[in-house]
Amino acid sequence: MNRTDQWKLASVLLVTAIAVWYLFPSYQFYANYYNRTTQQISSISSEKLAELRKKAIHLGLDLQGGMHLVLEVDRSKMNVAESKDAVDRAMEVLRQRIDQFGVAEPLIQKEGEDRIVIQLPGLTDRRRALDLIGKTALLEFKLVRTAEETKNVFDKLDGYLATHATATDSALRRTALSSHVLSMDFAAFVRSEDLPVVQLLLATPGLDSIIPGDAQLLWGNPDEASQGVTGRYLYVVKREPEMKGGSIATANAQIGLESTNPGAWGVSMKMTPSGRIDFARITGANIGRNLAIVLDGVISSAPVIRDRIPTGDASITGGSFNVETARDLAIVLRAGALPAPVHIVEERSVGPSLGSDSIQEGLMAGLIGTIMVIVFMLVYYQLSGLIAIVAMVLNIFYLLACLAGLGATLTLPGIAGIVLTVGMAVDANVLIFERIREELRNQKSVRQAVQLGYDRAFRTIFDANVTTIISSVFLFQFGTGPIKGFAITMIIGLIANLFTAVFLTRMVFDFMLSRGKAETLSI
């Protein structure tokens, strides 16, 4: 073996070693994890499992199940300037939320003018995901009106209701709103059994005109308690917010934020530098007042401002938070508010069993096709066919390693691309072998036939692979998720094919011919 052959062998071994390095986490995660018993799985740390999952080949929605959503951005209440890039801004916010939610390889893309397509492979908690995605997360800080101002507003409302019927029930004429209020201080507390009546009274036509223009009524969290009774607070707040959620630098789920309930979960927030300045000014000028923290039009809490707060620290408590709801709220606050409400217009769930069936059927189709190719190559090309089979197997091996290394997602169309790559790999060897046969029929020596066969077939193989790669690049650029999966496997597979079908098999033939004078060739 001369020095050139040694370098060729070293390069093949190096590429193979790198491929093993990238594929080993996939083997650990899929082969070991899914075949272990529940007791063995519990022995794997969540950190180790998360690390392996991150490095392993990702499976698409059609292979491991998950959710497919189509969202529509409601731009009806936005002006032209605001609505121009509303969908793009909504996509960015949703992408940040989903990334923090922990879904591996989500697909988020624009469809048409107002719609966003989201695919969440491997998702198990459907309701939590819908809440996380659909929440507008408009955070505002509003001053609560004083107890005297609140009573004046309710007196005006009672006066109006005394002479006007409700929207749907004239029998409630002359019913006072305050008669359904258990207590009234900085806010009115409505018992759970009185909530339907109060909501009906508030729907009375024209009632909004009685509320002062710089004030508004907002509900607090449901299922709160006052004097041992369950109900809900109704606040009168200043209409214009003192601050908005854009001033939030970070938010985290935390336990022990309430002094009266140290075991309760909540969300702690820290302001941006400019937010800290505004927050210090607002709290300093309103000591003794209640500052309502409003999320999507509902007051989460309304603590009393005891002193000026220069640190910019705030918290959201109450609302029966648990660890998951607190974490999810922290996620949406960190990601920011959606620029406009979104509505789910389509939802499809793919079960893991369907994905498992897709994998089995795809692998079975690939296995049958590969076996047929192997049998043909061994029968028709004999030893040379065996060399081509080794190259084909390495081609698939390198392809999977590239998918793992690039963090690409394997889909069912991607498996189809792998099967097609098998055919392309064998096709390249068939071109070379037939060219070698032709040279042998022209009375060339074995060494000359191999050299001419590779040299003269290379141009055809190169042109065929490059043109297919160019087509695949366009599929990847302009196609949707499944088409992209097919395109990426084709591109990687064809590049690997040029290495295995031309470089690797040529190295094997050169090694065989370097061992002595060859009179015949098994081809």
Does residue 478 or residue 385 have the better pLDDT? 385
Reported as a single tens digit per residue, the pLDDT across 482-514 is 787 788 889 999 999 888 887 888 888 888 887
d(CA 280, CA 218): 25
The model's pTM is 0.59
**C-alpha torsion sign, points 27, 33, 35, 36:** positive
- Residue 39: predicted pLDDT: 47
- Residue 247: predicted pLDDT: 82
Whether the predicted pLDDT of 186 surpasses 70: yes
Band the pLDDT of 261: cuts 50, 70, 90. confident
Which long-range contacts does 149-153 make (Cβ < 8 Å, 24+ apart)?
A: 149/215, 149/236, 150/184, 150/185, 150/186, 150/187, 150/188, 150/235, 150/236, 151/184, 153/211, 153/212, 153/215, 153/217, 153/236
CATH fold for domain 66-136+338-350: Alpha-Beta Plaits (3.30.70)
Residue span(s) of the chain under CATH 1.20.1640.10 come to 3-38+351-513
d(CA 187, CA 144): 8
d(CA 221, CA 202): 18
- Residue 447: predicted pLDDT: 86
- Residue 219: predicted pLDDT: 93
Band the pLDDT of 37: cuts 50, 70, 90. very low
Q: How many CB atoms lie within 10 A of CB 346?
A: 11
Q: Which two tokens stand for residue 7?
A: 């370098």
DSSP secondary structure, 313-365, as one string: EEEE--S---HHHHHHHHHHHHH---SS-EEEEEEEEE-HHHHHHHHHHHHHH
HSE, side-chain direction, 13 A CA sphere, residue 472: 22
Whether the predicted pLDDT of 442 surpasses 80: yes
- Residue 181: predicted pLDDT: 85
CATH fold for domain 3-38+351-513: Multidrug efflux transporter AcrB transmembrane fold (1.20.1640)
- Residue 124: predicted pLDDT: 66
Q: What average pLDDT does this structure show over 181-204?
A: 87
- Residue 153: predicted pLDDT: 92
3-state secondary structure at position 69: strand
Helix (H) or strand (E) holding 28: none
- Give the burial class of 291: count Cβ atoms within 10 A of its Cβ; 0-12 exposed, 13-18 middle, 19 or more buried: buried
Name the residue among 389, 388, 384, 410 with its Cα closest to residue 399: 410
Q: What is the CATH number of domain 140-337?
A: 3.30.1360.200
Reported as a single tens digit per residue, the pLDDT across 200-216 is 888 888 888 899 999 99
- Residue 319: predicted pLDDT: 60
Map tokens 């066969």 to a residue. 453
Most confident of 142-156, 297-311, 344-358: 142-156
Reported as a single tens digit per residue, the pLDDT across 319-343 is 667 888 888 888 888 877 788 888 8
- Residue 237: predicted pLDDT: 95
Name the residue among 184, 164, 181, 182 with its Cα closest to residue 173: 164
